Structure 1
């Protein structure tokens, strides 16, 4: 092992810890922080990101990368780690510090406004923030495009799914778009041959839902000695392997929504807990791409938690949690309820058949906005037309349309394709697991 490589490992360990600190501040901003504190939080996050940028853009890093890449004394893990270091370095040095700072402040301000605009169905309130953030995100994308020699959107997508191309994604999504209409009609027709499943009658108090969600999360492997469950507007998983932070949201009329949110985020958290400890603070010890990360959350949510054996076990647990009575609480009814297919409006509540359509819509719209073919002011109309074309439904308002996801409003452009890539991987991995161990 060369001294250059050793120095890089030490530096990337510091960078990893700084990134984790930013992540915890962002978790707090989404879950606990008072709304009026957003300005101070923005300064804190920007300061840490600028410090990380300084550590990465130090000229010695480039020298050490060059020196380490010329050595023959590294093992396979170290070679892979070095390759990811180089990619991480390229992503960082491509963007000037003033642009990082401006984007951080804009994203924090935008997310803060979104948290009010979404429940109030107020797209005009978020529009100027979206316009400003999009302009800055586009600048970042152009800078990375030049550094990587990639098309602008691919340079953005590379941060979340390295080496993915729009040609690859387009091929997959175009095939699905052609396949969906006929298949969806067959599924809906077949469903009509069975009695309609019924959601047990609520209300379902939040404290009882939370207790149930904790029980189910623990059952599939979440460890509350080093993790916690909280409430937020948009479910997500954060924290670090030793300190998992999962979130969900509750609907007192439908307890299954919170359950599936928790199962999804539990999958993310368990994947993080399983990262190789020997490479805890190194790039090679992190996920190779968000598609794989999403596959692990979707295996738990879409595959395991909707399986007949799991629902058969969980049905009496659910019934007991709410002192339920009647046929609606039977395992068979709950299984059919959790596996039903509908032309729904909300991505995070979508079934396995229609889920990719929600992702394809977002992928197409964000590419159009990045390219400049779609103005943010026209997003609601384009969203509604896209939903009509893909699923033949139109949201009644923007809260159930273009305001439902946080990604565009906190700067995570290029992320959406990973959801469907992950869903495809999850289905294949789960099928292989069942074949290996029926």
Structure 2
């Protein structure tokens, strides 16, 4: 049966990707510096093998023949996901793939020195080449998929999502978000917040993080926590690797980072075991993955009931201090202050950073904006959303992100889509199970059981639209996110 041949082929691909994931984790955490060149070469060879596996000339015939196999509904969806992975690997000509890789590598390498030098003029010609090649790739994808150029790139990260839908969601957000930011800042001017008094020894921070991970249901038999320069969740579902970074002057950042990555990890660990080695058994999308980490960090982790349970743990590990009082922790973890840097943004201002980037990258790819005009557009949008000017400040403006240097256009919307998904899931959960005050205080496992039944076990067996509708009982909407932010921050 052709479908069986496809399953075996994609299981082999999964094994190669498994090895790549663990080697990549080791490179970021434990590998001695002297091994970097050899590891990079090995991972490069592995990436070529994976790409060759997806471009096997037999696949086209197998897909055609499999259409006539007797398949159940889950196998039919599995076939569709395998076909999508194959299609994405074969849409672009090899010379364009090579040209994009070379241009992206040059741009990303130069960015590392040009950003701290605030050198937009030096960056621009390299970036113009990346944009030109990305437009070419988008056109090729658009022609094959029957989509707009930007939507064809968005499809890589958020299957089924379209810019028309994003325009509606983000337009709605943009209508009330600036006003909420101003309102909350004014409200918080009169609040007293005690800073946490360090130092906080790294070994004690790790012990606290591991305890909280256990509390959040992380399966240590199938995963572990380590340290890296940039926190991430990697590995595979059977062997999930989390990382964080510690600052002995600040326990708050590392702890909430661990909560965030544990959300990613619980999703991975909750994917259906019988499908894990096939594309249909992987995470539905970047946005859905981000919804789980933001559910853990924002919906649960910064909830007053969660912080009330956390307060005695902090005192237990670091000793008593007034700043560990639950009400002070709640104020500390919900401060709102507009800033230039996306990765440092709070829950309320973060969507503004994403909408700014979406507006720019959509128009860059569609040809409505040229790369040379990016700083001016960036400054206009920063002033509109956050009341800040980046005129002449390229380091903290349009040069701050690495994503565009290698042509990763279409990725940014996933961050705020994740927050919207998380709020909609949280609202539905509380309607069905009761408030977070009760669940966090009395029955936290019920939260994870609900997520397993409504989200994790479905992997990519459902579209994002179907997943959200069956979980929440309503179509995707930004309204629950608005209600969540206004209830938490403005009362």
TM-score range relative to shorter protein: 0.7 to 0.9
- Distance (whole Å) between structure 2 residues aligned to residue 275 and residue 289 of structure 1: 13
Q: Which of 237, 242, 246 is the matching residue for 2:242? A: 246
Residue 182 in structure 1 maps to residue 179 in structure 2: yes
Q: Which of 305, 309, 318 is the matching residue for 2:305? A: 309
- Report matched runs for 1:20-35 at 5 Å: 20-31=18-29
- Distance (whole Å) between structure 1 residues aligned to residue 221 and residue 327 of structure 2: 34
Structure 1 contact 107–411 (Cα < 8 Å) conserved: yes
CA RMSD in angstroms comes to: 3.0
Structure 1 contact 49–100 (Cα < 8 Å) conserved: no
Residue 360 in structure 1 maps to residue 355 in structure 2: yes
Sort the Cα spacing of 1:101 and 1:207 in 2 relative to 1 into closer, same or farther, 3 A: farther
- Distance (whole Å) between structure 2 residues aligned to residue 111 and residue 220 of structure 1: 37
Q: Which of 124, 142, 145 is the matching residue for 1:145? A: 142
Residue 418 in structure 1 maps to residue 417 in structure 2: no
CA deviation profile, 1:280-319 (whole Å, cap 9, x unmatched): 1111111222221111111001111011111001112223
Structure 1 contact 50–101 (Cα < 8 Å) conserved: no
Structure 1 contact 24–239 (Cα < 8 Å) conserved: yes
Q: Counterpart of 1:66?
A: 64
Residue 6 in structure 1 maps to residue 4 in structure 2: yes
- Report matched runs for 1:148-297 at 5 Å: 148-192=145-189, 195-297=191-293
Farther-moved stretch of structure 1 (404-413 vs 265-274): 404-413
- Distance (whole Å) between structure 2 residues aligned to residue 232 and residue 248 of structure 1: 6
Alpha-carbon shift at residue 419 of structure 1 (Å): 1.3
Structure 1 contact 90–148 (Cα < 8 Å) conserved: no
CA deviation profile, 1:360-400 (whole Å, cap 9, x unmatched): 11212222333455555655554344222211134695554
Residue 319 in structure 1 maps to residue 329 in structure 2: no
Alpha-carbon shift at residue 24 of structure 1 (Å): 3.6
- Distance (whole Å) between structure 2 residues aligned to residue 254 and residue 48 of structure 1: 39
- Distance (whole Å) between structure 1 residues aligned to residue 212 and residue 315 of structure 2: 13
Sort the Cα spacing of 1:126 and 1:47 in 2 relative to 1 into closer, same or farther, 3 A: farther
Residue 96 in structure 1 maps to residue 123 in structure 2: no
CA deviation profile, 1:84-118 (whole Å, cap 9, x unmatched): 12211211111233443454455556556656666
Alpha-carbon shift at residue 278 of structure 1 (Å): 0.3
Sort the Cα spacing of 1:206 and 1:385 in 2 relative to 1 into closer, same or farther, 3 A: farther
- Report matched runs for 1:364-403 at 5 Å: 364-374=359-369, 376=371, 379-380=374-375, 382-394=377-389, 398=394, 400-403=396-399
Sort the Cα spacing of 1:101 and 1:69 in 2 relative to 1 into closer, same or farther, 3 A: same
Alpha-carbon shift at residue 46 of structure 1 (Å): 3.9
- Distance (whole Å) between structure 2 residues aligned to residue 25 and residue 411 of structure 1: 24
Farther-moved stretch of structure 1 (88-97 vs 409-418): 409-418
- Distance (whole Å) between structure 2 residues aligned to residue 284 and residue 151 of structure 1: 25
- Distance (whole Å) between structure 2 residues aligned to residue 237 and residue 19 of structure 1: 15
Alpha-carbon shift at residue 237 of structure 1 (Å): 1.6
Is there any run of 5+ residues in structure 2 with no aligned partner, and where? 435-491
Sort the Cα spacing of 1:9 and 1:96 in 2 relative to 1 into closer, same or farther, 3 A: same
Residue 344 in structure 1 maps to residue 302 in structure 2: no
Structure 1 contact 173–360 (Cα < 8 Å) conserved: yes
Alpha-carbon shift at residue 164 of structure 1 (Å): 0.9
Task: Count the aligned residue pairs.
Answer: 433
Sort the Cα spacing of 1:250 and 1:108 in 2 relative to 1 into closer, same or farther, 3 A: farther
SS of the residue 1:238 aligns to: strand
Sort the Cα spacing of 1:369 and 1:188 in 2 relative to 1 into closer, same or farther, 3 A: same
Q: Which of 288, 296, 311 is the matching residue for 1:300? A: 296
Structure 1 contact 42–104 (Cα < 8 Å) conserved: no
SS of the residue 1:158 aligns to: helix
Sort the Cα spacing of 1:141 and 1:235 in 2 relative to 1 into closer, same or farther, 3 A: farther
Structure 1 contact 302–352 (Cα < 8 Å) conserved: yes
Structure 1 contact 42–108 (Cα < 8 Å) conserved: no
Sort the Cα spacing of 1:269 and 1:401 in 2 relative to 1 into closer, same or farther, 3 A: farther
Sort the Cα spacing of 1:242 and 1:405 in 2 relative to 1 into closer, same or farther, 3 A: farther
Alpha-carbon shift at residue 162 of structure 1 (Å): 0.7
Alpha-carbon shift at residue 166 of structure 1 (Å): 0.6
